[in-house]
Amino acid sequence: MTAPAFTLVFLLFVALSFAFASVLTLRHIAHIRANRAAVPAEFAESITLKSHQKAADYTIEKNRLGLIESVFDLMLLLALTLGGGMYLIHQIAANWFSGPYALGIAIFVGLMIVSSIVSTPFNLIRTFVIEQKFGFNKMTLKLYLIDAVKGLALAAAIGVPLLLVTFWLMEKMGGLWWLYVWLVWLVFSLAMIVIYPTYIAPLFNKFSPLADLSLKERIENLLTRCGFTASGLFVMDGSKRSSHGNAYFTGLGKTKRIVFFDTLISRLSPSEIEAVLAHELGHFKRKHITKMIIGQFALTLVILGLMGWVIDKPWFYDGLGFPLYGAAPHVAISLALFFLALPVFTFWLTPLGSLISRKHEFEADTYAAQQTQARDLITALVKLYRDNASTLTPDPLHSAVYDSHPPAAIRIAHLKAMQT
């Protein structure tokens, strides 16, 4: 392949991926607006018109902002690639750092700075305008800045060593460097799953043992019935940042923790909390987490193998706006350009991932209905839809492509069919 040909292919996929996402977003907005005036019949007794319209307006505003952000992301991508942005970052970094490893880190720091300049305004609008407008934001600007500083410190403490190891392997391991990098990334990912609950998550939130003894007993009985062990039941101060509610599992093996947002505990009844937890247990009992991890590792192996093939192809660099001038590029440039371009060529995988995720959600719901009462999960979900302002009327095509969970009406109907 020639560089001009690859440039044309890249631009074609850029146009296709952007048009694909934009059309679906516009469809989604139009569909929600068209159904804003009335609550769907199946929710008429449980969701007020005011709550339904709040969810519609909230979803529309988030998607409008996302559409504008996607335009800026597109411009940034083209500026960094065909516009010569990565070449400029490389030249600036090379003027300050001569060592290969320092230069590689500097290139990634420069890329992060440029990306943050574009993304930060949208994050601020999302948090302090949209979330604030609809009554969800509890975060102060001070807390936002503290989180940002902690995030940067963690990125440096964890990301820099990983990048250095990756650079070294890419330079020293010959044609199979990508396999060694994959093995290191695999071990790193598993280690992070184990380390995160105990050492990283507490840097951002406070985790307190579940104090409600009757609820704790109910949950422990459920865990016993399901043959599940956990290192602890914790309540997280989610209300510190947002009024959204949730619950999740984290960790592997003996480090597994069950975490409830304090907002969830305050809004759901004990039987509803038990049903929500049974749904999460269903993901483990049906091995969804294991399948997801294996799938991600397999996909990463394929992606790194593909990068191993293109890394020494001059047309790859020239075609993405990085002139070689006869010299091999720094491996950091290879990584940056490859992962900048990758989403453009893989957008079509999104519907497949969403389909698999929705299948897992149905299976987890079925498991929850077998271990608890389906009606408890139904009422819990309805409360969560209402309190989190989740739209009840997503565009079917947009939902099929992007939604990891089934639409509310379909999910509730599935649970009602299992009621006893």
Question: Which residue in this structure is represented by tokens 């969810």?
Answer: 55
Select from 336, 332, 308 the least CA-distant residue to 174: 308
User: Which of the residues 57, 274, 365, 376 is marked catalytic?
Assistant: 365
User: Which of the residues 272, 274, 280, 361 is marked catalytic?
Assistant: 280
Query: What is d(CA 42, CA 197) in angstroms, rounded to the nearest whole number?
Result: 39
DSSP character string of 39-76: --GGGTTTS-HHHHHHHHHHHHHHHHHHHHHHHHHHHH
Both tokens of 100, joined, read 């290969």
User: Angle at CA 116, nearest 5°, toward 115 and 119?
Assistant: 90
Both tokens of 132, joined, read 């604030």
Query: What is d(CA 334, CA 328) in angstroms, rounded to the nearest whole number?
Result: 10
Select from 347, 344, 311, 341 the least CA-distant residue to 329: 311
The reply to whether 387 belongs to the active site is: no
The reply to whether 272 belongs to the active site is: no
- Residue type (1 letter), 310: V
Select from 83, 55, 67 the least CA-distant residue to 27: 67
Question: Which residue in this structure is represented by tokens 């300049």?
Answer: 117
Query: What is d(CA 218, CA 215) in angstroms, rounded to the nearest whole number?
Result: 5
Catalytic residue IDs: 280, 365
